[in-house]
Structure 1
Amino acid sequence: MFTSIFLILTVSSLHCCLAGAINRVKEIRCDCGIRNEGKRHLGIGDNVKTEFAGNHAWPWMTSIVNVSLPHDPVAYCGATLINNQYILTAGHCIPDMQTSGLGNFRVWIGTNFITDLASDFDDYLDLEISEIKSHPKFDFETAEYDVALIKVSEPIKFSKRVRPICLTQPEENTLVGKIGVITGWGSLTLTTPTEEELKESDVVIVTNEECKKNYTTVDIPVLDTMLCGSVMTLDGQDPCKGDSGGPLMLKVKNRITQIGIISHGQGCSSPAFPTIFSRMSKFIEWIQQNTQDALYCRGSF
């Protein structure tokens, strides 16, 4: 059983079929994966030097916010906007939300700040949750199929500050060694609160075989539905509690595409244990099948 989930309490018949799966989604004239200018900057998070994201740099970045305490919103899990009605997150974020009550959670899009004063910084979207679709094969013990869709209460109008990420998947054999970006409001350690400002960090994608080397010693499986990434430097920021559900992103043909969902690992910022992500390429058809009522930007897949 894994020990750390980053949560507060990651012209052939085959060609014919794949093309059919892609064509099932509805598309509109808009662009996915276009990030805004805004460079990351150094700051202090919980008395530790931290890299924060440029304001509005990642317009699909979403926070599932716990609003159960008046005037004290808390980043609970990360997510990404993928179309005009759904956000994508980790399956293990869902059970505690359902137990606590979905009314205690809101979806915030279009702001880098999770604070009661966020409206002083941004005109962001604050949306209710309408429906949750967890992958039917999700296994809490192994974190396999750790993916879920959340439908928001009203259709989203895209803008420069609120725009979906692309889900185009690169060839699997080209990923190892590539530098990806992760973002989230998670804490810096397992014992500290989540951050109020969006952080970002670089990770290098490693093979599952490399990833398994140390995880086998702690009885954590690394499966085909998973993808691994390691921080670039000794003081790099691995995902931690509250980062679950956020994206692992790559730039592909001048667009940003999501190749992973932050899932789990062994502690936080442990160089010997890469972060384990849900491998997006394994879930594209499931996402398409379960978002038939939504509108995607052209080229999302």
Structure 2
Amino acid sequence: MARFWLVAVAVAALAGAVRGQRIPDNPCPDIFAYRQQRGVYFGEIVIPYDGSKSLDLAVNISMVGLYQDVKLKLDLLTPAEQILNSPVLRYRVNFPLRNVIPKITQISFNGRIFCYGPSEPVSVDGVTNLWANVIFRINQYTYNIQSGVNNPFISNNVNNYNEPSSPNVPQVTPPISEFQNVPVTTRPPKLTVEESCGLANDIQTLVLKGDKTVDNEYPWLAAMFHRQGVSYTFQCTSNLITNRHVITAAHCVWFYKAPLIAKEDILLVMGRSDLTHWATTGALIRTALEVTPHPNYKQGSGHCDVAVIKLNEEVSFKTTVRPICLWTGDTNLKRITGSKGVVAGWGKSEEVQNVVAVPRKVDMPVVSQETCLRSHADFKNLTSEMTFCAGNKDGSGPCSGDSGAGFIIKKGERWYLRGLVSTAIKNEDYSCNLDEFIVFADIAKLEDWIKVVTK
């Protein structure tokens, strides 16, 4: 009798552990469902098939806890011979751990984002974010599968887990048959700026001296090139704010009352963090249709140092190309004084004096206008009520080439654009003096003008 009682207690404990697993909120109920089979949870994706010959499914997940060497695996369940005649494609999402049910944060197919949601909140237990994709290419006679998994999160901590059991755990989602009504004759609607803006692919921590960004970590970054003869030279960093406009510093494109660069000679490259061989690596390329500097821009200072460039053609938002959210709410500088923001751009690095191929990022605190003005006499001519100062004064910060890069602040799950890199105190050789604060054009105070220009 005693032995039976011990076995019963053990079985009950295991069953309780399985039942105690938290089923995260599902931001993708139309195409994704949590499933359970023999005590093991997995995910199922049923997505409309668009008829293309290249099937690229990408999935992002988030898990509470720090884990090392874990992988997310995707399997295409639709038989190869049925793909071309199937209205939907069915995938299985195999979770990395048996005792942790991850939260789905994004699902995209062939570059189109079908749904997304916030990652797990940061806690003392840490958060692990993973990404995986599987590509299925079809030719006339054969079906070849290529898959890849990217785990950019590395940790020194691995959580052990107990293998769950109990085949009687009830289903937590509707029957699979309910997915049969997913519409497949039309493409999903294009994402709006409000739906897409400010969602970064940021999964690494900041490094003070200027860490390299993850590939396409900030998908609103747009590299501006200047055509000179038959070649292109990197000019400035800009930021996508609508599907037809980027914003940058006025001094990048304007000189006093005249264009610094003819609009016909401006080229904008998006969707690629690494600018090496950008012309042959699938970057999204646009030219300039209109260049509009702020009418009150004061040459040589940060006052209204803002320009909006209208693209010759709209862009479609996807994982690697998204707009940054424009600042909303209170514009009083005192509300953000002391807060830290992030600046990312293709400026010069400490190691080399050339523009870096991969954008770097640095976090820096906003300081009060009084602190900025008292720190150096030259700030009197560089600042105004339309600027703010930020910096660590320790050799870190934006430099040449970073002009136009955004000063972004995270609110909730989204990043918001508060300022643009404008100017700084110069050394005797005109190099960047990063032991002083950096001056940013405060675009939050130009909201009405930006709305008019981008209509």
What is the TM-score with the length of structure 2 in the denominator?
0.52
Please tell me the residue identity of whatever aligns with 2:242: N
Distance 1:260 1:29 in 2: 19
Change (3 A) 1:69 1:203: farther
Structure 2 match to 1:56? 216
Distance verdict in 2 for CA 1:254–1:99, change over 3 Å:
closer
Structure 1 residues 288-299: aligned runs within 5 Å: 288-292=451-455
* Residue 371 of structure 2 corresponds to residue 210 of structure 1: yes
Give the whole-Å Cα distance in 2 for the aligned partners of 1:35 and 1:289: 26
CA contact (8 A) 2:226 2:266 kept: yes
Partner of 1:223: 384
Cα deviation for residue 139 of structure 1 reads 1.1
Distance 1:28 1:196, change over 3 A: closer
Aligned-partner Cα distance in 1 for 2:260–2:387: 27
| 1-structure distance, mates of 2:375, 2:308 | 31
* Helix, strand or coil at the partner of 1:250: strand
Alpha-carbon offset, residue 123 of structure 1? 2.5
For 1:35, which of 190, 193, 200 is the aligned residue?
200
Counterpart AA for 1:278: A
Question: Residue in 1 aligned with 2:123?
Answer: none
Separation of aligned partners in 2, 1:176 and 1:248? 13
Percentage identity across aligned positions? 24
Check conservation: 1:38, 1:55, Cα contact below 8 A: no
Q: Is the 8 A contact 1:215 1:221 kept in 2?
A: no
Tell me whether 1:270 sits opposite 2:434 in the alignment: yes
Question: Are 2:336 and 1:175 equivalent residues in the alignment?
Answer: yes
SS at match of 1:145: coil
Q: Residues 256-280 of structure 1, C-alpha deviation per residue, up to 9 Å, x if partnerless? A: 0001011001132432x21000112
**Who is 1:17 aligned against?**
none
In structure 1, how many angstroms separate the alpha carbons of the residues matched to 2:305 and 2:418? 14
The answer to whether structure 1 residue 160 and structure 2 residue 319 are counterparts is yes
Aligned to 1:234: 394
TM-superposed CA distance for 1:254, in Å, is 1.5
The alpha carbon displacement at 1:100 in A equals 4.4
Q: How far does the alpha carbon of each residue in 1:152-211 deviate from its partner, in whole angstroms, 9 at most, with x for none?
A: 11011111110111113353332011110001111137x922111111111111001101
Contact conserved, 1:40 with 1:200, CA < 8 A, in 2?
A: no
Tell me the amino acid that sits aligned with residue 132 of structure 1. V
Structure 1: segments with no counterpart, 5+ residues:
1-26, 43-48, 293-301
Counterparts of 1:137 and 1:87 in 2: how far apart (Å)? 19
Among candidates 191, 200, 205, match of residue 361 of structure 2: 200
> Which residue of the partner structure matches residue 68 of structure 1?
228
Shift of 1:242: 1.1
State the Cα distance separating 1:57 from its structure 2 match.
Answer: 0.7
C-alpha distance 252-50 of structure 1, shift in aligned 2 (>3 A): closer
- What is the letter of the counterpart of residue 192 of structure 1? Q
Q: Which residue matches 2:38?
A: none
What's the counterpart of residue 295 of structure 1? Answer: none
Q: Give 1:291 shift.
A: 1.0
Deviation (angstroms), 1:113? 1.8
Residue equivalent to 1:14: none
Structure 1 residues 274-285: aligned runs within 5 Å? 274-285=437-448
Relative distance call for 1:159 and 1:58 in structure 2 (3 A) is same
Asked whether the 8 Å contact 2:423–2:438 carries over to 1, the reply is yes
Cross-structure match for 2:272? 111
Count of matched residue pairs = 253
Q: CA deviation at 1:67?
A: 3.8
- TM-score in terms of structure 1 length: 0.76
Deviations 1:62-102 (CA, angstroms, capped at 9, x unpaired): 111124365x6432111110001000111111126934433
Kindly provide the amino acid, as one letter, of the partner of residue 303 in structure 2: E
CA contact (8 A) 1:75 1:186 kept: no
1:256 maps onto 2:256 in alignment: no
Q: 1:217 to 1:264 in 2, by over 3 A?
A: closer
Q: Structure 2: state its 5+ residue gaps.
A: 1-191, 427-431
Conserved in 1, the CA contact under 8 Å of 2:366 and 2:389? yes
Pick the structure with greater CA Rg. Answer: 2
Question: Cα–Cα, structure 1 residues 239 and 69, in superposed 2: closer, same or farther, change >3 Å?
Answer: farther
CA-based RMSD of the aligned residues comes to 2.5
Instruction: Please give the alpha-carbon distance, in whole angstroms, between the structure 1 residues aligned to 2:194 and 2:328.
Output: 21
**After superposition, what is the alpha-carbon deviation per residue over 1:19-61, rounded to whole angstroms, capped at 9, x for unaligned?**
xxxxxxxx6673211111443688xxxxxx8521111110101
Give how far 1:219 is off: 5.2
Aligned partner letter, 1:53: T
Question: 1:92, 1:143 within 8 Å by CA — same for their partners in 2?
Answer: no
Cα distance change, pair 32–219 in 1 and its aligned pair in 2 (3 A): closer
Counterpart for residue 16 of structure 1 = none
- Segment drifting more, 209-218 vs 149-158: 209-218
| Separation of aligned partners in 2, 1:138 and 1:244 | 15
In 2, are the aligned partners of 1:41 and 1:52 still within 8 Å (CA)? Answer: no
Structure 2 contact 225–233 (Cα < 8 Å) conserved: yes
Q: Residues 41 and 260 of structure 1: is their aligned pair in 2 closer, same or farther, counting only changes over 3 Å?
A: closer
